[in-house]
């Protein structure tokens, strides 16, 4: 069962996810040393604190399972996948599922803000509708590098994971 609030978990999630968001905004990458470090520390600390290590590993596996399809479809980067998985070591399966849902909501809001800022809201909405209508068949056309439609997703993951860590 997902604990509603653990100050250590919330602090580590805030620091790790927040750092990842800042780095992603600056470099458009989420570094492996950060994601692997968060995951390893989460598993080790689960054991040290007498918590279920299997729960930490299940959180990692669920984070991978939830984010990997988006990466395969070209919607997220590999660093985003590894970030949610790493945070899953701290959040456990229930918290990771909540973080994924909150991240999707935050990502949708960020996508609208980015599209507005780039003056592309109408085109973005039209292409999102085309993508949904085609069942993904037009994804290659929409994801062309010339479309200027990519943005850092780690901030959305940070918002989602921290929201879950705080038990909201």
pLDDT of residue 137: 63
Please report whether residue 129 resides in a domain.
yes
pLDDT digits (tens, 9 = 90+) for 92-121: 999 999 999 999 999 999 989 998 998 888
Please report whether residue 130 resides in a domain.
yes
Q: 156 is in which domain, residue-wise?
A: 7-165
Helix H, strand E, coil C: the string for the chain is CCCCCCHHHHHHHHHHHHHHHHHHHHHCCCCHHHHHHHHHHHHHHHHHCCCCHHHHHHHHHHHHHHHHHHHHCCCCCHHHHHHHHHHHHHHHHHHHHHHHHHHHHHHHHHHHHHHHHCCCHHHHHHHHHHHHHHCCCCHHHHCCHHHCCCCCCHHHHHHHHHHHHCCC
Of 31-45, 46-60, 144-158, which range is least confident?
Answer: 144-158
Per cent of the chain over pLDDT 90 is 67
Please report whether residue 50 resides in a domain.
yes
> What pTM was computed for the model?
0.87
Total of domains in the chain: 1
Please report whether residue 29 resides in a domain.
yes
Please report whether residue 1 resides in a domain.
no
């Amino acid at each position: 069962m997902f604990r509603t609030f653990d100050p250590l978990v919330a602090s580590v999630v805030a620091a790790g996810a927040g750092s990842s968001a800042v780095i992603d905004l600056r470099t458009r990458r989420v570094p492996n040393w950060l994601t692997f470090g968060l995951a390893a520390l989460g598993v080790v600390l689960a054991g040290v604190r007498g918590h279920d290590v299997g729960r930490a590993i299940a959180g990692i596996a669920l984070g991978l399972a939830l984010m990997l399809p988006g990466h395969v479809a070209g919607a997220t980067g590999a660093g985003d996948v590894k970030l949610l998985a790493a945070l899953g070591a701290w959040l456990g399966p229930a918290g990771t599922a909540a973080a994924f849902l909150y991240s999707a909501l935050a990502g949708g809001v960020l996508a609208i803000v980015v599209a507005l800022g780039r003056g592309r809201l109408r085109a973005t909405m039209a292409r999102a509708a085309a993508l949904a209508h085609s069942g993904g068949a037009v994804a290659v056309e929409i994801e062309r590098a010339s479309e200027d439609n990519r943005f850092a997703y780690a901030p959305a993951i940070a918002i989602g994971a921290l929201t879950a860590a705080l038990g909201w």
